[in-house]
Structure 1
Amino acid sequence: MPLITLQGVDYSVGGPLLLQHVDLAIEPGERIALIGRNGAGKSTLMKLLSGELRPDDGEIRVEGGRRVARLEQEVPLDAAGSVFDVVAAGLGELGAQLAHYHHLIHAEPIDMDALAEVQAKIEAANGWSLDQRVIETLERLGLDGDADFGRLSGGMKRRVLLARALVSQPDLLLLDEPTNHLDIAAIDWLEGFLKQWSGALLFVTHDRRFLRALATRIVEIDRGQLTSWPGDWDNYVRRKEERLNAEAQENARFDKLLAQEEVWIRQGIKARRTRDEGRVRRLKAMRVERAERRAQTGNVKMATAQAGESGKKVIEAKDVSFAHGDKVLVRDFSTTILRGDRIGLVGPNGSGKTTLLKLLLGELQPQAGEVKQGTQLQVAYFDQYRATLREDWNAIENVAEGREFVEVGGRQKHIIGYLQDFLFTPERARAPITRLSGGERNRLLLARLFAQPSNLLVMDEPTNDLDVETLELLEELLADYPGTLLLVSHDRDFLDNVVTSTIVMEGEGRIGEYVGGYSDWLRQRDAAAVVAAPSKPQAAQAATPATPAPPSASKPKLSFKAQRELEELPGRIEALEAQIAGFTAKMAEPGYFQRDAAAVTADNAALAAAQRQLDDAYARWEALEGG
C-alpha cells in the first residue's frame, strides 16, 4: 500500500497551473529523484507532500500514522541554539522541553524547581525515550550536541538539519538539494547513509552522480504534469528526447490541420452553403486545445563576451605558503598555469580553496614565495556567495551597469534580449533581485559573468541551484571557452566533463596536482596509496605501482557457512541485475505509463525492492571479501 497518494492535484500561484491534475503514489522503500526546470514546481510539490501547502483541487492521502519530514533547500534563519536544540526541534513541543531540560542540567547553578517542573512534563508525555532517540541520532550522524549551531560550516549545518528531519523517524524523507554547500567527502557520506536508510526518499538534486547512485525511480515535472521513469538516468535522457521529438511532430501535424480548417471556415458564401456543423464544432474544440497548449520552457542561450588573448603563461607560483594563525592552508606550493588550461580545485570545506584562488589572482599576498600573473589578463569571477550582486539593483542594473547593450559572441545585444537568453522575462528582469529564487540568482550571475570580456574565468561553486539542462549547457560553453578556467566545484560529473587537470587540497597545507578530472584523480590517488603501502618492498612498489596490496596475513578465516555464502553471491548479484534490467526495459517501452496505475505502482515497488537487495548483496560481498 502506498505511503502517500496524490490524486488529481491542482496547484497555482497565479497564471497557468504550476501542478495540473497530478497523480503520484510513493511506495515504502522507494528512492525517487524529482527533476524539472527551475520554477517547475519541485519545492512546491514537496511542500504539498509534507502538508505545508494544501492543493487547490484534488486529494492527498497519507496512510494512517505515516510521518513525513522535509529538509529545506536553505538553512532556516530561525534555526539557532545548540545542535541538540536544533535536532530536538524535530520532535515539536516535546523536543523543546527536552532541549530546555538539557540546558538546565548544564547550568551553573542548577535551578532545581525549574528542572523538576520540566522533568514532570517529560515524564507525563513518556518523553525519555525520545531524549534517547535524539542522542542516538546525533551519534549516528557524528554530531556534537553541545556545539553552537550558528558557528558550524554550511555543510555541518546541513547535516544537523538532516538529523532534525530523521529524529522524527519519518516514513518518507523529502530532501531539497541536499548536496548544496557540501564538500565531496560529505556528499559521499550522505550518499552512503541514504543507501542504507530503510525509509522512502524523495529528493531534488542537480548532482547527476548522486542521482544515479540513489534513484530507483525518476519523476519529472514538466509544464504542470508528472511523468514517471525507471531509475536509470541515461535511459531517461534517451527516452525524454524521443518523447519530445514525438510531441513536436504531433504538434506540427495538429497545427497544420488547424491551419487547413481555419482556411476552410473563411472560404465565404460558397463554403457556408455546404458547411458541416460537426466540422465547425470540431474546429472550435481544436482552437481551445491549441490555446491551452503549454510550450516547453526554452533553454538558456549562453555565449561569452570576447577578449584578447592573454600571454601564454597565465599564472606562475613558486614555493608559496600561507597560514591563518596556526592553521597552514598552503605550504611550499609551486605551479605554472598556461593559456587554455582548465583546472579544477578540489578539497574539503575550509581547506583553503578560496584562499588559494585569491593567492593565484593576487588578491592575497603569500607569506612566503611569490606569485606572478601573466600579461593582458582579463578576469571574470563567479562568487559562490553571490556577493557580486547588488541587492538594491534589479537584474538589468546588475548586468548592464548603465549600458543599454552588451557585446557577446562578437555582436551587440540589447540588455533585455540578453537577459531573455537566460530565461528572464522583461517583467522578471525589472523585478528587485530580492524576489529571485536561488536558481534565478545563479542564472543572473552567469549572465553578469559572461557579459564581461574575459580570458581567465574563475568560478567558485557555479552549479548550486541550477537545473540539469542549464548545467549541461554550461558544461558545453566551458568546453568551448577559448581562455583559461579555474573551477572550484563539488559536482563530480561536472568536474569530469569540464576540467583537464585537478589541484587537490590534501590537508596540512599540502597541495597535489593531477592530470584529468575528479575520477582521474581518484584513480591516481588510489594507485599512489598502493605504491606507498609499507607492506610492499620499495623495489616491488616501483616495478608494479598499480598492483593492489596483498591481503593481510591477519585476515580471519571464513566459516564454512560464510564461505558458501561468498561463493553464491556472484550468481545472486547477476540474477538481481538481470531482474532490474528486465524492469528497466519493460518501463522503457512506449506507452508503458499509460497502463493501469496499480500495475505501474507494483512494478516500481518490485524494482525498488530488487535494487535494495542488490545494494545489500554488494555490501555483503564486500564485507565477506574483506574478512
Structure 2
Amino acid sequence: MNLIQLKNASILFGQPPLIDGADLNIQTQERVCILGRNGSGKSTLLKVLSGELKLDDGQRIVAGETVISRLEQDPPAHTDTSIFEYVAQGLGDNATLITEYHAQADLVAQDASEQALLKLQALQEQLDARNAWQLEQRIDNVLTQLSLPANTLLSDLSGGWRRKAALARALVSQPDVLLLDEPTNHLDIDMVKWLEKTLLSFAGTLVFISHDRSFIRNLATRVVDIDRGQVTSYPVSYDKYLEQKAHDLEVEATHQKEFDKKLAKEEVWIRQGIKARRTRNEGRVRALKALREEYKARRKVMGTAVIQSGAGHRSGKRVFELEHVSFGYENLRLIDQLDLLITRGDKLALIGANGCGKSSLIKLLLGDIEPQEGSVHRGVNLEIAYFDQHRSQLELDKPLIDAIADGKREVMVNGAPRHVISYLQDYLFSPERVNAPVSTLSGGEKNRLMLAKLMLKPSNLLILDEPTNDLDVETLELLESLLVEYDGTVLLVSHDREFIDNVVTSSLVFEGDGKITEFVGGYSDAQAWYQQSQQEKPKTKKNIEKATISPLISENKATQKKVNKLSYHQSRELESLPKEIEKLEVALAALQTQVNDAEFFQQGSDITQPVLDKLQACEHDLEVAFERWEELEELKNNV
C-alpha cells in the first residue's frame, strides 16, 4: 500500500531545479535510504515527504490518516526543558496539558497542599474531557523503551542522548512513516548499534538519510538516489545499488558520447559554405537546434573532490610513547596506567563511547594537558595537522576564499603556488560560491572546507576527530584512499565502523574505568576477538550481559595476539614488501658499483655527494623495509 506519493514533483531554489519532475512512492513496512551528493536535495526531499515544504510543481498525496514524524538532523538546540516535556511536544495540541499535569503530579508528591491538589484535580478533569490519558501513558512507554529519565533536563545530556530524546519525540506519536535525517551523527558506535536494533523493530515505514555505509547495509531494503534533480528508485540492497548505479552512469556516459559525436557532425554541416546552404534541409536545421537545446540543458555529473595532503618532513621513528599514564576528573577515571608506543606510519583508531576519554588522550599526546601519573614522550620533527569535529578553526562570518587563504589569492600546495579559487574547485566549490559566507554552507560542505584548510598545512601527523560527519559517500571514500596512502602517522576518532576498518592498522578500545586495550586491525577485528573470547568462556549470565563491543576485555596480550589477524591493508603491505625489497636491493647494488669505481672520488663533491646521499637513503629504506617485513611475518605467524 502506498502511504505517500509524489507525482511530477519539482522544487526550485533558483536554476536548475533541485528536484525536477520526480515520481516516488513510499509503501508500508519498508526501509528506504535516500542517497546523493552533498547539496543534491536529500533533506529537501525529506521535508517534502513530511509536508513541511510545499512543492513548486506536482502533487504530494498522503493516504488516509497516515501519521508522519521526522527526526531532525541535529540534536535539540533548546536544552532548558525536561525530557518528558520535550518528548510530549511530539503529541501536538495536547502536549502543554500533559506536561503541566506531569509537573503538577511531581509537585504534589513533594507538597500535597490543598491548593496543589485542587490544581492537579483540575488538570485531571481537562485530561478526562479530551480523553488524553492514553497519551501520557504513551509518553511513559516510549521513555521506558528508550531508557530515558523523564525529569532530567536536556542540558544535562550529551549530544548522543539528546539525539535519543529526539527519537523518543518522533516515536511518541506512533507514526506510520518515520523520517530520519542523518540519525547516526553525534552517536558513538554502541549507540549506533542500539539505534539499528531499535529501528529494525519499528513496525512502520522508515525513510532515512545516511552516509554510514554499515548502517545503510544493515537497515535499507530500498535505495532512492537523487542525482542532478532526478529521483531514481533502486529496490535492492545497498551493495546491489552501487553496482546498478555504476552501470547506469556508464550507460549515460556512452549515450552522451554518441550524442556529442552527432552534435559535432551537425555543427560541421551547418557551417559549410555556399554550396551546402543551397541544399540545406530545414528539418535538419530544426533538429540541430533541438540538439543544441538538449546539450544546453544537460546537467553534468558532479565531480569528485581532489584531496591532497601537504607533505611534511619525516618525523622520528618514535612519535609518542606513554609510560604508566593515568588521567581523570574527580571520581571519573578516564585513563589508568596506560603504556602505549606509536611509531612513524602507524594509523591508529580511538574507539569508545562519547565521554570515555578519547579527546583527553589526544590532549595528553599533544601536551595540552599533563598526566596525573606517568610520562608522555613526544618524538622529534612532528608537524601536526588537526581536524576538529566542532570546526572551530572555521570563521563563520568570513567568505570561503578568506577562510582558506587569510585574504591572499594564492596558496602553496606541496611547495607549488595555486590560485585559491582553483584549489577550492578541487573540493567541489564553484567559483560563484567562493565569496559566500562560511555560515551558509551545509554540514558536509563545512567538513570539505575544513579538509581543504587542513591539507594545505605540511604535516607528518594527522589527527582527525570525526572527519566523516555529513560527508557524502564519494568524498568519504576519497578521504579513505588519502589516509591509506598517507606517509605519516594518523590518529583517528570516528564512529563510522567501515571507515575505521578501511583505514587503520590498529585500534585503541576504551572499555571504561580507565581501561584501554590495543588491537591489531580495525573495529571488526576487535569485535571478532571479543566475540571469540566470549565463546571460549562459560556462558554465565554476567558474560552474556557484557556481550557488547564496549568492554572488549583482553586478559593478556599474548592471548590477544594469537586471536588477532592481519588487517586487509597489512596483508596487502606484506604481499608487496618482497618486491619492494628486491627493487631496493637492485638500486643499492647499482649505487655501490658506482661508488666502488676507481674514478668515482676523482670527481667533484657536487657530483659524488648526491650519489653518496642516495646510497645512504637506499640503505636506510632497505633496513626499514626488512624490519617491517619481519614484523608483519611475525604477526602473521602468531595468528
- TM-score, length-scaled by structure 2: 0.82
Provide the residue aligned with 1:271 in structure 2: 276
Provide the residue aligned with 2:47 in structure 1: 47
Deviates more, 1:165-174 or 1:75-84: 75-84
Give CA-to-partner distance per residue, 1:481-519, whole Å, 9 cap, x none. Answer: 110000000000000000000001011000000000000
1:138–1:53 Cα change, 3 Å: same
Which amino acid in 2 is paired with 1:487?
A: L
**Contact map agreement 2:447 2:469 (CA 8 A) in 1:** yes
**Contact map agreement 1:528 1:545 (CA 8 A) in 2:** no
In the alignment, structure 1 residue 210 sits paired with structure 2 residue 195: no
In the alignment, structure 1 residue 433 sits paired with structure 2 residue 423: no
Which amino acid in 2 is paired with 1:328?
A: R
Give the C-alpha shift of residue 407 in structure 1: 2.5
**3-state SS of 1:363 partner:** coil
Identity of aligned residues (%): 50
Q: Matches of residues 19-418 of structure 1 in structure 2 within 5 Å?
A: 19-78=19-78, 80-107=80-107, 109=111, 111-418=116-423
1:543–1:186 Cα change, 3 Å: closer
Which amino acid in 1 is paired with 2:184?
A: T
**3-state SS of 1:487 partner:** strand
Deviates more, 1:410-419 or 1:488-497: 410-419
**3-state SS of 1:111 partner:** helix
Which amino acid in 1 is paired with 2:91?
A: L
**3-state SS of 1:130 partner:** helix
**Contact map agreement 2:148 2:165 (CA 8 A) in 1:** yes
**3-state SS of 2:354 partner:** coil
Instruction: Give the Cα separation in 2 of the matches to 1:58 and 1:29.
Output: 25
| RMSD, matched Cα | 2.0
Which amino acid in 1 is paired with 2:17?
A: L
Relative contact order (C-alpha < 8 Å, sep 6+): which is higher?
1
Instruction: Give the Cα separation in 1 of the matches to 2:273 and 2:287.
Output: 18
Give the C-alpha shift of residue 146 in structure 1: 0.8
Provide the residue aligned with 1:442 in structure 2: 447
Instruction: Give the Cα separation in 2 of the matches to 1:505 and 1:209.
Output: 21
Instruction: Give the Cα separation in 2 of the matches to 1:114 and 1:301.
Output: 65
Give the C-alpha shift of residue 189 in structure 1: 0.6
**3-state SS of 2:434 partner:** helix
Instruction: Give the Cα separation in 2 of the matches to 1:350 and 1:420.
Output: 37
**Contact map agreement 1:530 1:545 (CA 8 A) in 2:** no
Give the C-alpha shift of residue 203 in structure 1: 0.5
**Contact map agreement 2:76 2:166 (CA 8 A) in 1:** no
Provide the residue aligned with 2:521 in structure 1: 516
**3-state SS of 2:2 partner:** coil
**3-state SS of 2:152 partner:** coil
Provide the residue aligned with 2:16 in structure 1: 16
Which amino acid in 1 is paired with 2:279?
A: T
Which amino acid in 2 is paired with 1:258?
A: L
Give the C-alpha shift of residue 428 in structure 1: 2.1
Unaligned ranges ≥5, structure 2: 544-554, 564-639
Instruction: Give the Cα separation in 1 of the matches to 2:381 and 2:498.
Output: 32
Give the C-alpha shift of residue 256 in structure 1: 1.3
Which amino acid in 1 is paired with 2:52?
A: E
Provide the residue aligned with 1:598 in structure 2: none
Instruction: Give the Cα separation in 2 of the matches to 1:184 and 1:28.
Output: 29
Instruction: Give the Cα separation in 1 of the matches to 2:37 and 2:213.
Output: 14
Give the C-alpha shift of residue 234 in structure 1: 2.0
**Contact map agreement 1:31 1:216 (CA 8 A) in 2:** yes
Instruction: Give the Cα separation in 1 of the matches to 2:559 and 2:538.
Output: 12
Which amino acid in 1 is paired with 2:423?
A: Y
Larger radius of gyration: 2
1:323–1:70 Cα change, 3 Å: same
Give CA-to-partner distance per residue, 1:385-444, whole Å, 9 cap, x none. Answer: 111212232222222234432222453211111111111123322211111111111111
Which amino acid in 2 is paired with 1:320?
A: V
**3-state SS of 1:388 partner:** coil
Give the C-alpha shift of residue 321 in structure 1: 0.2
Instruction: Give the Cα separation in 2 of the matches to 1:307 and 1:126.
Output: 69
**Contact map agreement 1:399 1:447 (CA 8 A) in 2:** yes
Provide the residue aligned with 2:495 in structure 1: 490
Which amino acid in 1 is paired with 2:73?
A: Q
Provide the residue aligned with 1:481 in structure 2: 486
Provide the residue aligned with 2:566 in structure 1: none
Give the C-alpha shift of residue 246 in structure 1: 1.4
Deviates more, 1:330-339 or 1:431-440: 431-440
Instruction: Give the Cα separation in 1 of the matches to 2:366 and 2:380.
Output: 13
Instruction: Give the Cα separation in 1 of the matches to 2:153 and 2:561.
Output: 49
Deviates more, 1:515-524 or 1:98-107: 98-107
Unaligned ranges ≥5, structure 1: 547-627
Give the number of equivalent residue pairs.
Answer: 543
- TM-score, length-scaled by structure 1: 0.84
Q: Matches of residues 601-612 of structure 1 in structure 2 within 5 Å?
A: none
